[in-house]
Structures are given as structure tokens and as C-alpha cells.
Structure 1
Amino acid sequence: MRQLAQLARGPLSAAVVELVTTGPPGGAARPGAARPEPAGGGDPWGEDHQLALHLCYELHDRGLPGVDPGWEWDTGLLGFRQSLERPFLAAVRAEAGPVPPLAELVEGLLTATGDGGPAGHLLAEGERWQAREYLVHRSVYHLKEADPQLWLLPRIHGPAQAVLMTVTYDEYGAGRPERAHALLFARMMADLGLDPSYGHYLDAVPAPALAVVNLMTLFGLHRSLRGAAVGQFAAIEITSPPGAARLAEALARLGAGPDGTLFYREHIEADAVHEQLVRRGVIDELTATEPELAREIAFGMAAAAAVDARFAGHLLDHWRAGRSSLRSALPDGPGGSDGPGGPDGPDGPG
């Protein structure tokens, strides 16, 4: 990751960076510290908006380099974050459109093929540079896989909570740290010549990929959106196995070694089990005891599909035109060398 001061993509993200890097002194946040002006009139899908929101959310996750952790609960910054969340959530609701009934959405996810998406493209005609770009995009989430969903655990109770804990336990290796999915993803990145350091490629990752992860965190951090968080997580688990199978085969075709396909091979089997657990043990249990959550769970699924579709469209539009889908191309990107390249070449994100 570049120095924070170099990451800004506009006035919103620049204001966040300036605020958290100029204090507070003494290791504790100043209550009600001055904050940037609320967002208004900008594009909630835009680069500046999505990066500003991502930086605010990172204070709740791994933190930001050199930033006092007291900023996490600074009331001024939380107010600014809210001014970013509201238009983003409104834009997601508008993009999702009228939400079908939950049962209809689940059935659609179970029968979806995904042939026309990025995984299908990489399998049928993808090039190695495109596969590496795909991993860079996905690294924003997969290097902390399931962390956003953990916010859900104290927000649901009874059998649904126990089943959700079972699923997330698997995400962290089921007691075997070396099998944690985030670590498997890091090994896959290294196998394809990428730097697996957390946040290394943030400057290169564009807004459509940031929006996918921001949506997860938005849902996870708000109890009022816990149903949407369940729906978003369920959508991942239900649709993962066929996509993972395509990606494992595509990466093997493009020269990945065993470490370069293990992450997706793990998800073919694991998420087939998770799909059953999430549907029957989480969704069915929750809607039986709290039927009012069904509509919000359905919205979470529809919202995830809408944001994922924007991301997929971004990738395919760029790749089919022979252009990099990143903000700065990797060394072996279009027009670059044919070799795997290193993570810090002259055209890579410094």
C-alpha cells in the first residue's frame, strides 16, 4: 500500500486521510473532532466515494498504517462515514430494484450457472494477466475472508447463530490455521507472482471492486441491516461452488501450481456444504422465528447480485477491449511482458 497521503482519489478520501493523519495526539481520539463536510451530490459508486468509505471501514478491521486506533470511534468521523453510507445504500437499493420474494431469489441462486461472468471468461478464453488482475481485485476481501460476516454473530441467536458459527469456523481453517481461507488466498497470489501483503494493491483496485467489500462491511456493522448481511453471505455460499470449479480449472490452464488452485478447490467442496447449512440452518431458522427478516434477507441477496454485476461488467468490458481492469496495470498486463512478472514492477502499484 502506498503512503496514505498518496492514496486519495478526490476530496472525500483526501479529507479522511488528512483527518486521521494529523492527530489526535496522546493515543486517544478527541471526542467530536472536526470532520470533513458531509458528502453530497457526488457519485456514490465513484472512486473517491468508495475509497473514502473503505478507509473509514478499515479502522474497524486491520486499521490504517500509522493511524491512531482511537479514530475508530471518533464521533466526527463516524458522522462523516454515515454521510457516505446513506447515499451508497440508497444507490444499492435503486440498483437492486424491486426485490422478488426470498424463496424465488434462493431458487434463482441455486440454478444460476455464471457462465457469462468473469469465471466463465477466464476458463474459456482468459489470459494469465487477466487471472492475476482478478486475484488483485478479490484480494481486498479474500485476504480477510469472513471478517465482515463475523459482525453478524452477536446479532442473531439460537440455532441460526450456532450454524453460522459452524460455517465461519470453516472459513478460518476449522482449527487448522494453515487452512484458513485468507492464508490459502495469499498462497495463491504468491504462486501467480503477486504480493500477498494485506492492502498492497489497494491503490490499484477500482471502485467497483471496493463496492463489493464495502457492501459486506456496511451490512455487517449495522444491526438494522443484519437480515441483509445474512442474505449477502448466503448468496456467496450458494453460488460459490460452480464459480470456484471454473476458477480452479482456469488457473490450472493458465499455469498455476498446486498452491495456485488450492483456494478454489477448497471452496468447491466446502461451500457445497455451507450452502446447505446457510439455507436450512440460518435462513430457515431465522425466518421461522423472525418472519419479518425475510424481506431484508432477500434485499441482501438482490443487493449482492447488483453490486457483483457492476464489478463483473467492469472486468469484462475492460478485458474484452484488451485493457487492464485495474487503476494501474500489473507488469504482465496488456502490452506488458509475457512472463509472470513481479509485484512491484515499473507499471505496478507502488
Structure 2
Amino acid sequence: MQLPTPRGPLTELLFERLACPPHEFGPPPVPARTPALEDEDLQLALFACYELHYRGFAEVDEGWEWEPSLLAARRALERRFEDGLARAVPRPVPTFSAPMRRALAELTAATGPDLSGFLQREADLAQFREFVAHRSIYHLKEADPHTWAIPRLHGGPKAALVEIQADEYGGGRAGRMHSELFRTTMRHLGMDDSYGAYLDRVPAITLAVSNAMSLFGLHRRHLGALLGHLAAFEMTSSIPNHRYSMGLRRLGGDQEARRFYDEHVQADAVHEQIAAHDMCGGFARQYPSRAGDVLYGAACALTLERLFAEHVMDDWRRGASSLREAGLMVGSR
């Protein structure tokens, strides 16, 4: 993947520095006053910093991954992102008399804009492609952020997470990996299925959805939040994915094109129970004081998904695209 187009002074400086050999980075520019979850410059900068821990960029020296001065600059950006999450997501108070599974179920029962219903019944092919472009930012590396939790767990919660992740990675069969199934969907839709192909087109909220996973995954202090985040994903996945599959069938998608969504209908119905009871419930029993972290991670996942759906639906109701025009600077879409 190539470095994307900058979206403001922060990413202009970051990408200029990353294109050179590793050196002292220095403090980042003073951030804009835009709310963190809507800040195109901030979210793209964080995404690029996090990507150094995944596949990186073709023109960026791998030595940047652990350059102390860049990590210090990233920490300043993370503080702003974490503050933005805290403002947007009220921290749930755990009820220790109620099991974690029930607490998660109560959180995930809340509803937001019916994006999956719209895609099932009304979206045209261009809108469905837009949705897939948004989702490609995560689905082309599906499961990777949550895998960071495996070496940080032990006992039952670790076994539960490994069971979930094994399915996400296709049980050891490359063609069954969920990221590869998503590539198949993209190809059937006539889209570019290369990693990061739509990075320049997606807005800040789409990047924030992905950045929250990386934030939680890369910091051991956020382990509980990462588990709650994954549980919320699994517990709210089966019905929407069934709707996505039905919508794609309505638009002419064959069984192979829909296999990614159909796979999630089946797998996530099982994962839901494992994630809520064995993984999160087991973790809360091991570390009762961190039960609130689990619920907060779930609440972050649900809030970001709601904000993403609102962004997409608001644009579509206005007859506009939910994607940005490639190459535009901050403040434009």
C-alpha cells in the first residue's frame, strides 16, 4: 500500500517524514478544533501510524515502526482520540450481580439507523459498492486487531478467543479466510480488491471505526475494551449480514459473491455465545475490577457503528455519496 493523500497539516508533515529514513520526529502540529471522531486529518494520521504495525507502506522504512519519537507523537494523537471516545461514549457501570453475558446483551439491544435494512430492500448497486468500500478498510485485515489479545490472555478466555479467531482465519485454509471471502465479494462487484485501495475515499468516521480496534489492540491496558469490542461485533453481526446477503442477491449477486455475508450469518451466531460467555464472562471472572472496561469497549464499538450508519444514511438521503472525493484536503468530501 502507498501512503495516502494528506488531509491537513498533520498528515502532510507525517507523510513527508515517513518518506525519509527514520529520524527524530518532533511534536506533531497543534490539532484542529474539529471533534476527534470527525477530524479527517487526525483519523488518517492515526490510521497511518497504526498501519506501521500491520503491513506498512511501500515507501516507508520499517524502522519507523518502533521509532521512539514517532511513538511519542502518536501518543499525543491517541490522547485526543481517547478523549473523543470518552465524550461520545458514556462509560457503562457494571452490575456485578448480573452476568457479563446479560450486560452485553442489554447494550447490544439498542438500535440505530437501519443501514442493513436499507441495503437489503432499497440500496442500488452504486450504494452497495460504497458500503463495501467503507468496510474494506477493516474487512481486508479482518480479525487482525483482535488477535493482539491472544498472548495477553490465559485459560478459558484465551481458548475462547482462539476458537473465534481460528474461524475468522478460515481454519487454516487460505481461501476460507474472511478477508479472502471479502475480496471475492469485491471482485464480483467490479471493485479493486487490493489492500487499502479505498483509503483515500473513506471519511473520518470509517477510519475511527478501524482506529478504535487498533488502539485497543495495541495497548495492553485496553485488553478488556478489546474483548468487549469483539463481543459487540459478534453479537450484532448475524442479522445484518443476512440482510446484506439478501440485498446483494436482489442486486444480482450470486452465491459466491454473497459467501462472505452468508459465512458470518452462521459463524457469528456461534461466536456470539463464545464471545459473551466464555471470553468476556471468563475475563470478568478472572479480573472483576476490569468488567467495566469490557462494557466500555462494547459501547465504543456500538457507538462508532451508529455514527458510521448515520453518516452513510444522511448522505444517501440527500442523494449524495458517502465517500470522499480522492485527493481532497480536510473539510471536504
The TM-score normalised by the length of structure 2 is 0.92
2:114 aligned to which of 117, 120, 142? 117
Q: CA deviation at 1:158?
A: 1.1
Pairing 1:215–2:212 present: yes
2:285 paired residue among 285, 288, 291:
288
CA 1:223 to 1:209, structure 2 compared with 1: closer, same or farther past 3 Å? same
Q: Say whether 1:80 aligns with 2:73.
A: yes
- Distance across 2 between alignment mates of 1:208 and 1:17: 21
Cα deviation for residue 310 of structure 1 reads 1.2
Deviating more after overlay: 33-42 vs 213-222: 33-42
Q: Deviations over 1:248-301 (max 9, x none)?
A: 101111111222210000000100010111112111111111111110001001
Q: 1:113 Cα shift?
A: 6.4
Q: Is the 8 A contact 2:216 2:223 kept in 1?
A: yes
Name the counterpart of 1:12.
10
- Residues 119-151 of structure 1, C-alpha deviation per residue, up to 9 Å, x if partnerless? 111112111111000000000000000000011
Partner of 1:184: 181
Aligned to 1:347: none
Question: Which has the bigger relative contact order, CA under 8 A and spacing at least 6?
Answer: 2
The alpha-carbon distance between structure 1 residues 288 and 105, as it changes in their structure 2 partners (threshold 3 A), is: closer
Determine if contact 1:20/1:68 at 8 Å carries over to the other structure. yes
In 2, distance between residues paired with 1:166 and 1:185? 21
Q: Which amino acid aligns with 2:9?
A: P
**Contact 1:234/1:275 (8 A) holds in 2:** yes
- Aligned counterpart for 1:327 among listed residues 324, 327, 330: 324
Return the letter of the residue paired with 2:218: L
Partner residue of 1:126? 123
Instruction: Determine what percentage of the aligned residue pairs are the same residue.
Output: 44
Match of residue 253 from structure 1? 250
How big is the shift at 1:100?
4.4
Q: 1:36 deviation in Å?
A: 4.3
Q: How does 1:194-343 map to 2 (within 5 A)?
A: 194-328=191-325
Partner of 2:33: 42
Residue 47 of structure 2 is matched in structure 1 by: 54
Structure 1 unmatched ranges of 5 or more: 25-29, 330-350
What count of residue pairs does the alignment treat as equivalent?
Answer: 320
With the length of structure 1 as denominator, give the TM-score of the two structures: 0.87
In the alignment, is the contact (CA less than 8 A) between 1:12 and 1:36 conserved in 2? no
Residue 137 of structure 2: aligned partner: 140
CA contact (8 A) 1:112 1:239 kept: no
What is the rounded CA distance, in whole Å, between the counterparts of 1:42 and 1:317 in structure 2?
Answer: 23
- CA shift, 1:74, in A, is 0.4
> CA–CA distance in 2 between the matches of 1:306 and 1:178?
32
Q: Which amino acid aligns with 1:61?
A: Y
Q: Matched residues in 2 for 1:296 and 1:19: separation?
A: 35
- Mean Cα displacement is larger for which, 33-42 or 243-252? 33-42
In 1, Cα distance between equivalents of 2:130 and 2:257: 14
Structure 1 Cα separation of the partners of residues 238 and 110 of structure 2 = 11
Q: Does the 8 Å CA contact 1:122/1:247 hold for their aligned counterparts?
A: yes
Distance in 1 between residues matched to 2:289 and 2:233, nearest whole Å: 22
Partner-residue secondary structure (3-state), 1:304:
helix
Alignment partners' CA distance in 2, 1:113 and 1:275: 18
CA–CA distance in structure 2, aligned partners of residues 113 and 47 of structure 1: 26
Segments of structure 2 that go 5 or more residues without pairing to the other structure are 95-99, 327-333
How far did 1:97 drift? Answer: 1.8
Matched with 2:63 is: 70
- Supply the distance in 1 between the matched residues of 2:323 and 2:148 (Cα, whole angstroms): 29
Letter in 1 for 2:207: L
